[in-house]
Homo-oligomer: A and B are copies of this chain.
């Protein structure tokens, strides 16, 4: 099921900036792990745990550290960062299907749009008024782009992405299917009518998404209440993440699936946040923080480090007993 493209090892080495030791004319047709690679595949060693596989792999070439090259008799690419080099090589073996190869006849444009001449827009895309789309952008079928939104160069919007009006999307950013950008933040004021009813706080801000951002399928990013929600350059967001209004996420922070970030929270640069984390609103997390899976972040994090919460997996019958003790923990300790 993989896309198969053929490259000479010499071409691969040059593209990835690695040193070729072996047959420069060797043809490579795909990428794979050491365990599964065939003679047509290139593989990599980035973790010593897998070192023993070098003796048995069928890979036609292995990417590894210079100091490891004696461990493999076949063709190799040496580099100081084998996993990065492997990732770089993966670019050569991916094919982006065209959205339609042109602007499909069914695309609907509002007035006063500025669309670069070389964009590729699929069927049934609907584009509002005053929208700008940059060079080389690919907009797949069924996307919606609201009024006055600006889409940068080389952006990819996969099918059925919805971007409301007044959004900026930076160059080279990739947004997967069913992402929503610019929906209303959750803002309601109690009317004080005694029945608990709410007055909507209309959400008048926008969303600014930087360059080289990737946003996974089904993620939602709300527009700001007054200012903008901001996703900085290089941020990587996995699937089904929720970003509330006025959140700010710093450069190159990566967040795994199903994490939710409440309103007005600010997250630093280079953070790595695991999946299903919950982060409350109106707090600040500094740069270079790591948060483990399913953690509840209920206060600001002011110091670099790794943070967690929760209780560990257990058999249900044992868990139930421990959990019952937890609910009396304070009185147990008081009575010691």
Question: CB within 8 Å of B: which residues of A?
Answer: 1-3, 30-33, 36, 80-81, 83-84, 86-88, 90-91, 93-94, 97, 104, 106, 108, 122-124, 126, 128-129, 140-142, 144, 146-147, 158-160, 162, 164-166, 168, 174, 176-178, 180, 183-184, 186-192, 195-206, 208, 212, 214, 216-218, 220, 222, 226-228, 234, 236, 238-240, 242, 244, 251-254, 256-258, 260, 262, 269-270, 275-276, 278, 280, 290, 292-299, 301, 305-330, 332-333, 336
Contact = CB atoms under 8 A, between A and B. Distances in A.
Given A183-B239, A191-B84, A308-B320, A94 B202 contact: yes
Contact of A296 (B129, B174, B257, B294): B294
B220 A218 contact: yes
A136 B94 CA distance: 33
A195 B287 CA distance: 11
Nearest to A276: B278
B311 A305 contact: no
A313 B330 contact: no
Q: Tell me the number of copies of this protein.
A: 3
B278 A293 contact: yes
A254 B196 CA distance: 10
Given A31-B204, A325-B329, 15 more contacts: A1-B205, A84-B190, A90-B201, A90-B204, A91-B200, A108-B123, A144-B159, A183-B239, A184-B214, A262-B293, A309-B310, A309-B319, A312-B324, A312-B327, A318-B327
A83 B198 CA distance: 11
A236 B313 contact: no
B336 A330 contact: no
A79 B238 CA distance: 44
A199 B262 contact: no
Contacts of A94: 202-204
A166 B336 contact: no
26 contacts: A30-B204, A36-B227, A81-B190, A81-B191, A81-B192, A83-B190, A84-B191, A86-B201, A87-B200, A97-B147, A124-B124, A126-B159, A174-B184, A177-B183, A180-B217, A197-B252, A198-B236, A216-B222, A218-B220, A240-B260, A296-B313, A298-B313, A307-B319, A309-B313, A312-B323, A336-B336
A255 to B, nearest CB: 9
Nearest to A255: B186
